[in-house]
Amino acid sequence: MIYGGPSDETAPNVKRWQVGKPLPRIDAAGKAFGSTPYAGDHVMPGMLHMCIVRANIASAKLRFLDVAKARALEGVVEILTAEDLPIAEVAPGSPDRDGTERPNTGPPILAGERIRYFGEPIALIAAETRDIAERARQLVEFDLEPLAGVYDPLEAMKPGAPIVQGNDNIVAVRNIRKGDAANRLEDADYVVENTFWTPFQEHAFLEPEAGLAWTDENDVINIRVCTQDIAHFRAIADAIGVPHNKVRVRGALVGGGFGGKEDCTLEKFLAVMVRKTRCPVRLEYSREDSFVGHGKRHPLILRYKTGVGKDGKISGLDVEIVADSGAYLFLSPYVLLYAAVASSGPYRIDNLNVRARAVATNNMYTSAFRGYGSMQACAAYEQQMDEVARVLEMDPIEFRRLNYLQTGEPISTGFVPPSAIWTEQCVDRAWKAMGGPVNSTQEHIKIGRGIAAYQQSYGRLSFLGDTSEAWVGVELDGTVIVRSGVADIGAGQISALCQITAEILGVALEDVVIYSSDSAVTPLAGRTAATRTLYMTGNATKQAAEAIRARLVRRAAQEFGVAPDEIDLVEGKVLARAQPDNCMSIGALAEICETEGICRSELAMFHPQLQDFLDPETGQGQAHPDYVYGAHAAEVSVDTETGEVCVLRSIGVHDVGQCINRAAVEGQIEGGAQNGQGFALSEEMLYEEGRLVTPSLSEYLMPTSMDMPRVESIILESRSGIGPFGAKGIGEPAITPVAPAIANAIANAIGVRVFQMPITPERIVNALEERDKRRRTMTAR
Amino acid sequence: MFCDFDLHMPDRLDDALSVLTDEKGMPMAGGTNLLVDMRSRKETPASVIALGNVGELRGIHFNDERTTIGSRTTVSDLLQSTELVSSSPSLVEAAAVFAGQMVRNAATVGGNIACASPAADLVPPLLSLDAELMLVSASGSRTVPLADYYQGYKRNIRGKDELITQISWARLPENSVNMFYKLARRKGDAITIVGVAVTLSISNGICRKARIALGAVAPYVLRARESERRLEGQVISEELLCAAASQAARECCPIDDVRASATYRRHVVKALVGRLLSQSWNRLV
Ligand SMILES: Cc1cc2nc3c(=O)[nH]c(=O)nc-3n(C[C@H](O)[C@H](O)[C@H](O)COP(=O)(O)OP(=O)(O)OC[C@H]3O[C@@H](n4cnc5c(N)ncnc54)[C@H](O)[C@@H]3O)c2cc1C
């Protein structure tokens, strides 16, 4: 089937029946009208309510813990501490086939003696009501002896620093070496060196973690929970010491994930309690619980040293990255790898040296967050590109143009992405959309513009191996059922699968129903993360639908006495293209298949080829299956007296390969613009000795609708991706370039750069004052 | 979550006052502060007297001399009134940048004053307008200048049995400008870092009256009285306004918190007071 060639038109692709259209998502109405049940809406008769007792010092020894008084409270059913758990230490739910040695730094379900971060769980309470559980929490007595802690990754690497994990706190190391960066930097015309700081970030999904667990008639522990990964059922089973087939995770539509529900959140707490009490148990986090209950985005310190010739060509790049992994490892080695691989951006850099380390501290642990290390790297490399252009006295876009990676050229790891690299098209489209310059009418207001390009992987790390399954079946009335274990985390994942199926089988989107996110009855599809779901499960679904289509077409061709390639499936009908009167409903055709034993369903598995590990010394090899390219442009106004920033324009341009649902793609770009703007300007998790002092949405400031400009989305379609119909992905890419675009716009407006995000009004005022001070001392001399 | 409490929902002011007697009773207007504080157990009232049904406390009235509003008037109500835009522009400006739409629909003027937060956004405008409060209890009523109401951080002169029933202020003199600016870390639903309201009345080039009220830079909303004194009776000049701005920055006593440092707040007070004063002056000449 030929679906047309590459196009950078923004008009929808009318040649298709379903794919590419901005259809209302299948999950939209229920969410808009409030009828969609989320995990927290599920209740059961006789269920118990849980709450968690957490440590209130970040680095401490638990000297004593006494739950007797709490247990004596009427209505309290069970209280569990580390001593009561069958298995104390549990490896994190992260993949372990990463080829590097690493210390066993998995978190226990409940802390025993050693407390490593503020909020670490030390006891679980189950009671007849939430109120009783809450009151019991006040009655738990414990004594923490403070131990020396370390809260800065640079401090944590120094000899003599308090040890949080391993022998030296360094929990992961990733290097990339290619060419001869040291010598190229030595003989470069210019060397530009800068250090960039990126902050913690909280996912702040609308739906805090919630779950319900019970034991069913097969003695299987069922857990209904909001999660990005139902495959945690295995880790949960291991944690409580039961066979894998005795735990079933049933997801629900998720009210936002962003990586924050990629690790186990409250599943293990529910599992140990349901196993002990044999009663249904429910646990729901408050917003405050959620702030301390899941890992954050890794703060990174990125030192960039770029060598560049007078001709504007980058000759060498040296990058040093330090990531704060917090108290436990979780996904740090992978996030770090993403940052290292991404650190040279969408540029051709033949001489590259990257040294990246993740360091344990007594801060909140850090793990997955949309963009996954690549986004932090982009925040640095795109600011650095502007700084280098400034030294060269070149236009930032023209400087980039001299260095863009082109289609068919190798990235930092030496791997050649199989798809098109349209960075240049995206940057140019974004800048064109910006239009002519705008000037401020007030003296204290400066207006500036910035651009940032990016490279973001889609699909899981190639050496970890990845599979995804989907089942598609046609009913006797021509309607269609899809089954796949994907978790829909709000980005339209399941709707896209239905749209793909509808396209292949020639039915309307309304004719497709999907069952998803059940580890026991839907074929496993892997986690909704790494911008992999459309690529992986989209391909699996398409394969399954195509297999059925082939059988239907063959049978119809026989019926109509034509060749199979003359058959079309359109609008619920099957017909011979040349003789449109020769036509029957897909239901009637399915009926024939049913009678004759032609299978109307198909289970398909998609799996990219497993790759070798990256070279441990040089980091060369294939890290990911492919990459997305694009750009974001921003226009800001800055009040030079108060440092206030207002984002006036926000334009995302992405080559998504192929839109499946244009409206959903725009939704991702708009959400990414908001998410990235918060990261750049206002979202701040302040920790004092590991204790979060901004634990609510009135202190942790995400941009509201009043802070957002209208986001402009420009969608390019190279149709070169390795997802279904040439699709790439957009979930993570949408956020990746936003923050540096805003940072570059601010620097453009005021002529100085704030190297630390978030770029708060206060930091801007300080940077301006320092510049004025420098100027004064220069004139004094 | 919440402590146990008795809920009263009187229809009339008298009934409200008759139950507002003991130490542990608290009035609730919009609840946008009180419910948040009860949820975090900062407040644990034994009884809550919800004022939502007391219609006589809500409304905006004008006569030739004064503007009077009921304490249960919501922030959204302020934005509906066209007359208020001309009589008390700073109050309308503050209402427009107050919280977000949902909170504005519930939050009241009386609640904003009574919560005594240094960052309460309606208070600097009301101070710049020389507003007075009417405090009523079962045994009587009294009128006090808003400027005398606050005693310290979240402390005020209201008796436990008193309700704020109305707020009123005189019309601005001729040739006056009254304005407000809120500086915060974002535009919607943000706690103020610095709020500034000014009133400037000028005739024949001489400042007849100056009011400068500063939010979030002291234990309670502050009037920069020294700065005002520097202006009143003087011939207005750019230098004078600048000196007044510097003086205002000296008069405030901000703290460091998660939103901003004291140094930054002081810097912003100077910048914003200077800016608002010179914008006012520009409008009058
Ligand atoms: C999301 C959010 C955003 C916010 N943004 C802002 C903002 O931008 N600016 C701002 O200033 N505030 C803001 N607030 C705080 C709050 O909304 C305001 O202070 C509001 O004006 C309080 O009014 P209320 O009617 O809700 O008071 P309530 O919560 O009902 O009461 C507050 C206090 O006043 C007392 N009280 C109420 N009415 C009376 C009365 N008539 N007499 C005596 N005592 C009384 C109560 O007992 C209580 O102690 C915000 C709050 C939230 C939740």
A781: pLDDT confidence band, cut at 50, 70 and 90?
A: low
Contacts of A760 in chain B (CB under 8 A): 185, 260
The span from the CA of B47 to the CA of B164, in Å, is 18
CB burial of A289-324 (b: ≥16 within 10 Å; e: otherwise) equals bbbbbbbbbbbbbbbbbbbbeeebbbbbbbbbbbbb
The tens digit of pLDDT for each residue in A563-583 reads: 999 999 999 999 999 888 889
B49 CB near ligand 1 (under 6 Å) = no
Nearest to A737 by CA among A615, A652, A670, A642: A652
Q: What is the CATH classification number for the domain harbouring B275?
A: 3.30.390.50
Q: Give the chain A residue whose CA is nearest to the CA of B261.
A: A762
User: Is 90 exceeded by the pLDDT of residue A746?
Assistant: yes
Q: What is the CATH classification number for the domain harbouring B75?
A: 3.30.465.10
The tens digit of pLDDT for each residue in B200-253 reads: 999 999 999 999 999 999 999 999 999 999 999 999 999 999 999 999 999 999
Same domain, B41 and B122: no
Count Cβ atoms below 10 Å from residue A406 Cβ, excluding itself. Answer: 12
Higher pLDDT, A103 or A585: A585
User: Is 80 exceeded by the pLDDT of residue B149?
Assistant: yes
| Whole-Å CA distances, A36 to A98, A204, A487, A671, B235 | 38, 20, 15, 21, 67
Q: At a CB cut-off of 8 Å and minimum separation 6, what does A606 contact?
A: A467, A468, A469, A536, A537, A539, A540, A543
The span from the CA of A369 to the CA of A197, in Å, is 17
Residue nearest to atom 14 of ligand 1 (CA): B99
Same domain, B164 and B269: no
| E strand residue ranges, A263-313 | 281-284, 300-308
pLDDT at residue A12, rounded to an integer: 40
Architecture label for domain A300-462+613-777: 2-Layer Sandwich (3.30)
Same domain, B147 and B73: yes
**pLDDT over 90, % of chain A:** 92
3-state secondary structure A724-759: HHHCCCCCCCCCCCHHHHHHHHHHHHHCCCCCECCC
Nearest-CB residue to A706 (from B100, B185, B259): B100
Nearest-CB residue to B189 (from A641, A704, A765): A704
Domain that holds residue B225: 176-284
Amino acid at B5: F
The answer to whether residue A640 neighbours chain B at the CB level (below 8 Å) is no
Nearest to A651 by CA among A626, A676, A621: A676
The span from the CA of B173 to the CA of A147, in Å, is 64
Nearest to A213 by CA among A223, A204, A226: A223
Same domain, B31 and B16: yes
The span from the CA of A738 to the CA of A747, in Å, is 14
| A467-606: in CATH 3.30.930.10 | no
Identify the helix (H) or strand (E) that includes residue A317: strand A314-326
The span from the CA of A512 to the CA of A18, in Å, is 12
Can you tell me the mean pLDDT for B39-60?
95
The tens digit of pLDDT for each residue in A9-61 reads: 434 434 678 899 999 999 999 999 999 999 999 999 999 999 999 999 999 99
Count Cβ atoms below 10 Å from residue A607 Cβ, excluding itself. Answer: 14
Same domain, B31 and B129: no
| Whole-Å CA distances, B103 to A533, A706, B50, B74, B111 | 38, 14, 17, 9, 12
The span from the CA of A210 to the CA of A282, in Å, is 8
pLDDT at residue A102, rounded to an integer: 54
Domain boundaries, given as residue ranges, for chain A: 39-147+209-284, 300-462+613-777, 467-606
Kindly state the DSSP code that residue A246 receives in the 8-state scheme: G
Q: Which of A765, A769, A772 to mutate to test the interface with B (most CBs of B within 10 A)?
A: A765
Does B1 reside within a domain? no
| Whole-Å CA distances, A141 to A53, A123, A137, B44 | 10, 11, 9, 23
- A732 tagged catalytic: yes
The span from the CA of A652 to the CA of A572, in Å, is 36
pLDDT at residue A569, rounded to an integer: 94
Contacts of A131 in chain B (CB under 8 A): 1
CB burial of A505-541 (b: ≥16 within 10 Å; e: otherwise) equals bbbebebbebebbbbbebbbbbbbbbbbbbbbbbbbb
CB burial of A39-71 (b: ≥16 within 10 Å; e: otherwise) equals bbebeeeebbbbbbbbbebbbbebeebebeebe
A228: pLDDT confidence band, cut at 50, 70 and 90?
A: very high
The tens digit of pLDDT for each residue in A61-114 reads: 999 999 999 999 999 999 999 999 976 555 544 444 555 555 556 788 999 999
Q: How many domains is chain B built from?
A: 3
| E strand residue ranges, A67-134 | 76-81, 114-115, 121-127
Residue ranges of A 679-738 with Cβ closer than 8 A to chain B: 681-682, 684, 686, 693-694, 698-699, 701, 703-707
The span from the CA of A230 to the CA of A366, in Å, is 21
The tens digit of pLDDT for each residue in B238-274 reads: 999 999 999 999 999 999 999 999 999 999 999 999 9
| Whole-Å CA distances, A432 to A390, A435, A455, B66, B112 | 21, 6, 21, 55, 47
- Ligand 1 centroid to Cα of residue A400, in Å, is 52
3-state secondary structure chain B: CCCCCEEECCCCHHHHHHHCCCCCEEEECCCCCHHHHHHCCCCCCCEEEECCCCHHHCCEEECCCEEEEECCCEHHHHHHCHHHHHHCHHHHHHHHCCCCHHHHHHCEHHHHHHCCCCCCCCHHHHHHCCCEEEEEECCEEEEEEHHHCEEECCEECCCCCCEEEEEEEECCCCCEEEEEEEEECCCCCCCEEEEEEEEEEEECCEEEEEEEEEECCCCCCEECHHHHHHHCCCECCHHHHHHHHHHHHHHCCCCCCCCCCHHHHHHHHHHHHHHHHHHHHHHHC
The tens digit of pLDDT for each residue in A379-426 reads: 999 999 999 999 999 999 999 999 999 999 999 999 999 999 999 999
Q: Which structure tokens are listed for A318?
A: 């040296």
pLDDT at residue A105, rounded to an integer: 63
Nearest-CB residue to A644 (from B183, B188, B267): B183
The tens digit of pLDDT for each residue in A654-687 reads: 999 999 999 999 999 999 999 999 999 999 999 9
pLDDT at residue A90, rounded to an integer: 52
The span from the CA of A693 to the CA of A727, in Å, is 42
Same domain, B70 and B131: yes
B111 CB near ligand 1 (under 6 Å) = yes
Torsion sign over Cα A518, A522, A524, A525: negative
Does B107 reside within a domain? yes
Q: Do A642 and B183 touch (CB under 8 A)?
A: yes
* Cα of A59 vs its chain's centroid, Å: 29
The span from the CA of A7 to the CA of A13, in Å, is 9
CB B147 within 8 A of CB B181: no
Count Cβ atoms below 10 Å from residue B21 Cβ, excluding itself. Answer: 12
Q: At a CB cut-off of 8 Å and minimum separation 6, what does B243 contact?
A: B230
Q: Give the chain A residue whose CA is nearest to the CA of B259.
A: A699
Nearest to A537 by CA among A264, A545, A93: A545
The tens digit of pLDDT for each residue in A187-198 reads: 999 999 999 999
Q: Which structure tokens are listed for A243?
A: 């066979």
Q: Which of B97, B183, B185 to mutate to test the interface with A (most CBs of A within 10 A)?
A: B185
Strands A645-655 and A711-716: parallel
User: Is 70 exceeded by the pLDDT of residue A2?
Assistant: no
Does B233 reside within a domain? yes
Reported residue count of chain A is 781
pLDDT at residue B189, rounded to an integer: 95
User: Is 90 exceeded by the pLDDT of residue A353?
Assistant: yes
Rg over CA atoms, chain A: 27
The span from the CA of A293 to the CA of A124, in Å, is 14
A222: pLDDT confidence band, cut at 50, 70 and 90?
A: very high
Nearest to B110 by CA among B155, B66, B57: B57
Nearest-CB residue to A706 (from B188, B259, B268): B188
Does B181 reside within a domain? yes
CB A252 within 8 A of CB A226: yes
Does B124 reside within a domain? yes
The tens digit of pLDDT for each residue in A236-272 reads: 999 899 999 999 999 999 999 999 999 999 999 999 9
pLDDT at residue A420, rounded to an integer: 97
Q: At a CB cut-off of 8 Å and minimum separation 6, what does B151 contact?
A: B157, B220
pLDDT at residue A619, rounded to an integer: 97
Tally of CA atoms within 13 A in the half-sphere of A493 that contains its CB: 33
> Which of B170, B196, B227 represents a domain boundary (last residue)?
B170
User: Is 50 exceeded by the pLDDT of residue B118?
Assistant: yes
* Cα of A99 vs its chain's centroid, Å: 23
Same domain, B156 and B192: no
Write down the ipTM of this complex: 0.96
Nearest to A257 by CA among A524, A40, A488, A533: A488
Using an 8 Å CB-CB cutoff, list residues of chain B that contact chain A.
1, 100, 183, 185-191, 193, 258-261, 264, 267-268, 271-272, 275
pLDDT at residue A98, rounded to an integer: 56
The tens digit of pLDDT for each residue in A129-171 reads: 999 999 999 999 999 999 999 999 999 999 999 999 999 999 9
> Which of B145, B170, B195 represents a domain boundary (last residue)?
B170
Does B268 reside within a domain? yes
User: In the predicted model, what is the mean pLDDT of chain A?
Assistant: 94
Q: Which of A674, A694, A696, A707 to mutate to test the interface with B (most CBs of B within 10 A)?
A: A707
B114 CB near ligand 1 (under 6 Å) = yes
CB A500 within 8 A of CB A660: yes
Q: Is A446 strand, coil or helix?
A: strand
User: Is 90 exceeded by the pLDDT of residue A5?
Assistant: no
Count Cβ atoms below 10 Å from residue B106 Cβ, excluding itself. Answer: 17
pLDDT at residue B285, rounded to an integer: 85
Tally of CA atoms within 13 A in the half-sphere of A149 that contains its CB: 26
Count Cβ atoms below 10 Å from residue A1 Cβ, excluding itself. Answer: 8
pLDDT at residue A89, rounded to an integer: 56
pLDDT at residue A92, rounded to an integer: 46
Does B217 reside within a domain? yes
Same domain, B159 and B64: yes
CB A461 within 8 A of CB A526: no
Can you tell me the mean pLDDT for A509-522?
97
| Whole-Å CA distances, A158 to A75, A114, A361 | 50, 22, 12
The span from the CA of A216 to the CA of A213, in Å, is 10
Angle at A720 between CA A716 and CA A724, to 5 degrees: 95
Q: Domain A39-147+209-284's class? A: alpha beta
**pLDDT over 70, % of chain A:** 96
The residues facing A505 across adjacent strands are none
Same domain, B216 and B274: yes
pLDDT at residue B52, rounded to an integer: 95
The label of the residue with tokens 């006494």 reads A66
The residues facing A284 across adjacent strands are A210
Burial of A464 (0-12, 13-18, 19+ CB in 10 A): middle
Does B13 reside within a domain? yes
Rg over CA atoms, chain B: 19
- Does A467-606 match A300-462+613-777 at the fold level? yes
